[in-house]
Chain A
Amino acid sequence: MKTASIIISLAVVFGAVLYLQNKSAAPVLTSPTTTAPSVTKTPIGTSSPTSSPMCDFAAPPTGCHYENISQTPCHADLVCIQSVSISGFQFAPGSMVVKTGTKVTWQNNDNVPHNIVASDNSFHSPNLNKGDKFEFIFTQPGQFDYICGIHPSMHGKVIVR
């Protein structure tokens, strides 16, 4: 009888801890609001800015590459893309500095699923299996810390200037 009451107490306390932990620590599944993130399983097409004769390009920012240049060969239409690889339970690079308007893409190269969850919930990816990509355009300056919601000790940071 005594043992049974201890086991019941254990179950109650454990349930309470489970509830509190989920309520406070786990990421909230919300859809992003300000920008349109997307997940894709196909590689993003890239090309060099110098391939367009119509634009007078300045030197591109370090680490940037551009998409859709053949369709929109003008400065204003170009989106700088920076990539983050998820490999070995790490984000690489773990920290990056980008300009406002930069599109950051995360690609999962691990065999286990990961996701991307911003600390301020400004963006939240679905679960990414191996090869899946998630992209998000940073339209506001600031520091955006993020984690993998499945493995919360995986941290990353994007600083937007």
Chain B
Amino acid sequence: MGSLFKKSLIVAATTVAVDFAFHYFLTRPMETLTYFVIKFLLAFFVAAALFDSYSFVKNPAVKKYVLAGLIFSTLMSAYYRAWELFEIFAPWGSRAPDIYGISRDNLLFFSGAWWLAHTSFFVLGVILARRWIKN
């Protein structure tokens, strides 16, 4: 198993594990198995693209972690907005669970919290992967 595969796997597993805990303790309703599977696959491929990119290998700066995390978060959001609009015909953003303590009426704060959470879970995964797999 190549190091790129191992590192991507660590990122995907970390992202999903932390996200599962986040959903379990801080949001309602709980998300579905499909959601976590899609998140795992997406994190895996975004991480693979990150670790395989020449510029990251040459200079693995933290801002590149964050950029990859934002791309991951954006793609995940795009998937759910597309699902709402074209599959279930539900209003924009209605799929997102409630976060305890954050009102969904404050759209900027609410959606910002989701982006920050998803991005930080991914970045944590990248940090762990780089620490555990050296080459």
Instruction: Report which A residues bind B (CB closer than 8 A).
Output: 2-3, 6-7, 9-10, 13-14, 17-18, 21-22, 25-27, 29, 88-90, 111-113, 115, 127, 149-154
Contact = CB atoms under 8 A, between A and B. Distances in A.
A158 B110 CA distance: 34
Interface in B59-81: 75, 79
Contact of A154 (B29, B54, B87): B29
Contacts of B48: 6, 10
A39 B38 CA distance: 34
Interface stretch (B39-47, B113-121, B123-131): B39-47
Given A6-B48, A112-B94, A150-B95, A26 B42 contact: no
Determine the main DSSP class of A at the interface with B.
loop
B32 A150 contact: no
Interface residues of B, number: 32
Contact of A25 (B34, B90, B95): B34
27 contacts: A2-B53, A3-B49, A3-B53, A6-B49, A10-B42, A13-B45, A14-B42, A14-B45, A14-B75, A14-B79, A22-B87, A25-B32, A26-B83, A27-B88, A89-B97, A90-B29, A113-B91, A113-B94, A149-B88, A150-B84, A150-B88, A150-B90, A151-B29, A151-B97, A153-B31, A153-B32, A154-B29
Contacts of B90: 113, 115, 127, 150
